[in-house]
């Protein structure tokens, strides 16, 4: 059973207001307006109604960042040549900070956009003991992540509070349940990597039974350190919903039975589907429910993210 703390809105310290500016700059060497990402977030006016872009000079920023719910439309953009060049990292396990408290970056606000940077929690579970240690927690609706890296061990990326998220051309790495939550998310053209040699579980969805869509892994590539030891997922909630569609599944995936039980919830009762996957880890058998072409028409990125407002970040 996973512990989820009720999010507490952190209003931040009173920094100089950002005035009418739409771009704030961060550099740890003092060459920009702010030295930390959190200082720039604190400077975003509460209740802003237009996008504020926080550009971050290449480098490593060892800090915790909270974007409170009253600061929507925030973009964090790394200025390095690659996503790996700009890193926001901390080392906090849930055993001391609580689940969401362990997140290096905790987004409570809607309309968040992360681009060209890395979110990391470098807590080492092998050396220090098993514990959730999140790199990124998304609680705000309509989040977008493009060309980012989200890296940790257990519970890397949390999508919660019924949030919707669109993640594309990105890299996600972890060991156990490293894509999880009760939100709806599409992972398009992503690289997903199971790094533990003994294997683990990629997804742990807690999709409510009243919610049609959970996680869609679409045209992505799944690889890992082990062979035939990685599960596609397990149901944190009894009605968990996950679809792997038109993705490349490497030999890291357990071919005979890629889904398993969790917390008394049977994978057989969950809504776990596959469609036209390829690779050594993609096989059709009685443990792997395949969508028909007609069914697959209802499991597209647009369907997963539309909600009641017709959101279509995938274009």
For the annotated catalytic residues, the residue numbers are 155, 177
CB atoms within 10 A of CB 99: 21
Cβ distance 281 to 253 under 8 Å? Answer: yes
- d(CA 44, CA 139) in angstroms, rounded, equals 19
- d(CA 78, CA 70) in angstroms, rounded, equals 23
- d(CA 251, CA 222) in angstroms, rounded, equals 9
The CA-atom distances, in angstroms, between 160 and each of 43, 153, 163, 204, 209 are 26, 19, 6, 12, 15
- d(CA 251, CA 128) in angstroms, rounded, equals 29
The CA-atom distances, in angstroms, between 26 and each of 76, 189, 245 are 10, 29, 38
- d(CA 263, CA 70) in angstroms, rounded, equals 35
The CA-atom distances, in angstroms, between 124 and each of 2, 127, 134, 177 are 19, 6, 12, 16
- d(CA 164, CA 42) in angstroms, rounded, equals 24
Cβ distance 283 to 255 under 8 Å? Answer: yes
β-pairing verdict for 136-138 and 201-205: unpaired
- d(CA 48, CA 172) in angstroms, rounded, equals 30
Cβ distance 72 to 111 under 8 Å? Answer: yes
């Amino acid at each position: 059973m996973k512990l989820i703390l009720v999010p507490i809105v952190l209003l931040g310290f009173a920094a100089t207001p950002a005035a009418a500016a739409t771009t704030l700059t961060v550099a740890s060497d003092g060459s920009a307006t702010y030295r930390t990402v959190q200082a720039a977030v604190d400077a975003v006016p509460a209740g802003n109604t237009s996008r504020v872009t926080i550009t971050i000079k290449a480098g490593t920023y060892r800090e915790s960042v909270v974007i409170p719910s009253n600061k929507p439309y925030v973009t964090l953009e790394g200025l390095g040549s690659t996503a790996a060049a700009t890193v926001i990292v901390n080392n906090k396990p849930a055993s001391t900070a609580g689940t969401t408290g362990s997140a290096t970056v905790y987004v409570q606000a809607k309309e968040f956009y992360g681009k060209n940077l890395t979110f990391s929690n470098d807590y080492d579970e092998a050396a220090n003991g098993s514990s959730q240690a999140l790199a990124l927690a998304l609680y705000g609706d309509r989040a977008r992540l493009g060309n980012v890296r989200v890296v940790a061990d257990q519970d890397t990326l949390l999508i919660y509070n019924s949030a919707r998220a669109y993640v594309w051309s990105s890299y996600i790495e972890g060991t156990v349940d490293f894509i999880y939550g009760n939100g709806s998310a599409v992972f398009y053209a992503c690289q997903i990597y199971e790094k533990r040699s003994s294997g683990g579980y990629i997804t742990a969805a807690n999709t409510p039974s009243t919610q049609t869509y959970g996680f869609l892994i679409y045209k992505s590539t799944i690889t890992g350190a082990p062979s035939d030891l990685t599960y596609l997922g397990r149901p944190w909630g009894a009605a968990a919903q996950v679809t792997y569609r038109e993705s490349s599944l490497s030999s890291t995936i357990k071919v005979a039975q890629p889904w398993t039980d969790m917390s008394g919830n049977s994978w057989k009762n969950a809504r776990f589907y596959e469609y036209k996957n390829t690779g050594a880890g993609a096989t059709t058998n009685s443990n792997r429910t395949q969508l028909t072409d007609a069914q697959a028409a209802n499991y597209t990125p647009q369907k997963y993210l539309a909600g009641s407002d017709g959101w279509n970040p995938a274009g």
